């Protein structure tokens, strides 16, 4: 029998090191691509291709890797994902070829199973009623790592743009050794179904969520939540620059505080609320808080008020771990990886389509009062999506215990 607390610490440590390694490269990846591309037009082209390829590959591969972990175990698939991240981080540190860097991002997206398998792992070792709080710890760990990682990456990038990549690759290699030597296997009941390539396709995991009304409803709520969240994240930098004249320092500080707020909400506040309030109460309240925050940002002519509202948007972080926990309790143990992979695919898909939706809307923000639509239109759209999720959640509260 696995000792639950040490096993949970092991997998959270793996997640932290992976997220830290990923966060290290955020401040320097655009500059490195610009140095290699030579012109601003080529920099934009290559940066877009590299970013979209990673999200697209994550979307396609997450359910497959989740299904593989159901069949062959969490540990080997988790270690494969860590190895993929190590390759993805190391190539830009040693290569001057944009094609190789693009290829490494594609491979990294295919193999980046860490979040999916980590969720399935935690579902294996955690009692059903404690899974929402455990999933919240994953979000808290990611939040902390993304507060620390970009700061270290920015400092190292002042000396050499490749240093953060080298450090990120080294962290992933240490993480691989740590997981190989310390992490126990959690899967006790492998998926008994015979191997079939047709079952390991990007939409097999999503089909699991569509089979039951409960999981379909939960998937609709979290899908809208992810899309709204992605729209906010991908527009914040340009929106605040266009509307409020913020500098990179202002934007960076606001994101630093937002990351700290998310870590606080998911790591401390959620475990405190779960014993006192029903999940069917916390989720609608979280969605309502997020909706009001987004609408307020769209209406606010003051940057300081928008910053405070963006930090309160972190309360939306209460909802996703609870929904993930509810899905994990609903599906059979033998398909935990597939179900978690499907949820991860919804998140990856949202990250891929959000820039396509939101970037044209920022034109109205840049034009200001002369625009045909209000400058806050990107955030009104985000609020509308979240309001839809709130209405669905209120109409199906029985899906949450």
| pLDDT confidence bin for 13, thresholds 50/70/90 | confident
In whole angstroms, give the CA distance from residue 166 to residue 174.
12
CATH class (in words) of the domain with range 203-401 = mainly alpha
pLDDT digits (tens, 9 = 90+) for 16-67: 877 777 677 766 776 777 788 877 667 667 876 777 777 778 777 777 777 7
Which residue is listed with tokens 């989720």?
A: 283
Helix (H) or strand (E) run with residue 243 in it: helix 213-244
Q: 290 and 342 in contact (C-beta within 8 Å)?
A: no
In whole angstroms, give the CA distance from residue 116 to residue 109.
12
Q: Where are the domains of the chain?
A: 1-180, 203-401
> Domain 1-180 adopts which CATH fold?
Growth Hormone; Chain: A; (1.20.1250)
| pLDDT > 70? residue 1 | no
Q: Count CB atoms within 10 A of the CB of residue 37.
A: 16
* Mean pLDDT value across residues 85-106: 84
The SS3 assignment for 233 reads helix
The DSSP 8-state label assigned to residue 371 in this structure reads: S
**First CA to last CA across the chain, in angstroms?**
28
pLDDT digits (tens, 9 = 90+) for 277-296: 998 999 999 999 999 999 99
pLDDT digits (tens, 9 = 90+) for 122-164: 888 888 878 778 888 887 887 788 778 777 777 787 788 788 8
Give the closest residue to 261 by CA, choosing from 199, 330, 335, 313. 313
| pLDDT > 70? residue 276 | yes
- Burial bucket for residue 335 (CB in 10 Å: 0-12, 13-18, 19+): buried
pLDDT of amino acid 113: 61
pLDDT of amino acid 174: 85
pLDDT of amino acid 337: 72
* More confident site: 224 or 177: 224
240 token code pair: 């605040």
Query: 1-180 with 203-401: one CATH topology?
Result: yes
What mean pLDDT is reported for the chain?
A: 81
| pLDDT > 50? residue 108 | yes
pLDDT digits (tens, 9 = 90+) for 174-211: 888 888 887 778 777 776 666 666 555 666 666 777 77
- Burial bucket for residue 110 (CB in 10 Å: 0-12, 13-18, 19+): buried
pLDDT of amino acid 195: 62
**What residue spans of 95-212 are helical by DSSP H?**
98-111, 114-125, 131-157, 163-182, 204-211
In whole angstroms, give the CA distance from residue 336 to residue 193.
14
């Amino acid at each position: 029998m696995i000792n639950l607390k040490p096993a949970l610490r092991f997998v959270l440590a793996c997640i932290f090191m992976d997220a830290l390694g990923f966060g290290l490269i955020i401040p320097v990846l655009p500059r490195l691509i610009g140095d290699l591309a030579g012109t601003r037009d080529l920099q934009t082209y290559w940066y877009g291709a590299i970013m979209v390829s990673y999200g697209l590959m994550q979307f396609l591969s997450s359910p497959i890797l989740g299904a593989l972990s159901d069949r062959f175990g969490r540990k080997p698939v988790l270690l494969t994902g860590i190895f993929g991240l190590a390759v993805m981080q190391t190539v830009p540190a040693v290569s001057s070829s944009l094609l190789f860097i693009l290829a490494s991002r594609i491979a990294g997206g295919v193999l980046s199973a860490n979040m999916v398998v980590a969720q399935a792992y935690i579902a294996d070792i955690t009692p059903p009623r404690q899974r929402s709080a455990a999933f919240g710890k994953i979000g808290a760990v990611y939040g902390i790592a993304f507060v620390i990682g970009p700061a270290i990456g920015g400092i190292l990038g002042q000396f050499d743009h490749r240093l953060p990549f080298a450090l990120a690759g080294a962290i992933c290699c240490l993480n691989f050794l740590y997981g190989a030597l310390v992490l126990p296997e959690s899967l006790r009941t492998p998926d008994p179904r015979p191997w079939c390539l047709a079952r390991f396709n990007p939409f097999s995991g999503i089909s699991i969520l569509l089979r039951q009304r409960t999981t379909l409803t939960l998937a609709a709520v979290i899908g809208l939540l992810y899309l709204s969240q992605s729209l906010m994240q991908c527009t914040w930098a340009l929106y605040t620059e266009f509307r409020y004249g913020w500098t990179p320092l202002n934007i960076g500080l606001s994101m630093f505080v937002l990351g700290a707020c998310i870590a606080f909400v998911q790591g401390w506040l959620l475990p405190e609320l779960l014993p006192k309030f029903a999940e069917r109460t916390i989720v609608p309240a979280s969605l309502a808080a997020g909706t009001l925050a987004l609408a307020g940002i769209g209406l606010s002519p003051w940057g300081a008020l928008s910053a405070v509202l963006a930090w309160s948007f972190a309360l939306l972080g209460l909802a996703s771990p609870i929904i993930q926990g509810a899905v994990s309790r609903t599906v059979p143990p033998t398909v935990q990886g597939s179900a978690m992979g499907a949820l991860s695919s919804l998140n990856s898909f949202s990250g891929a389509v959000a820039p396509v939706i939101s970037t044209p809307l920022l034109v109205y923000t840049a034009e200001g009062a002369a625009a045909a639509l209000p400058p806050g239109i990107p955030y009104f759209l985000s609020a509308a999506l979240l309001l839809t999720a709130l209405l669905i959640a209120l109409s199906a509260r029985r899906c949450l215990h």
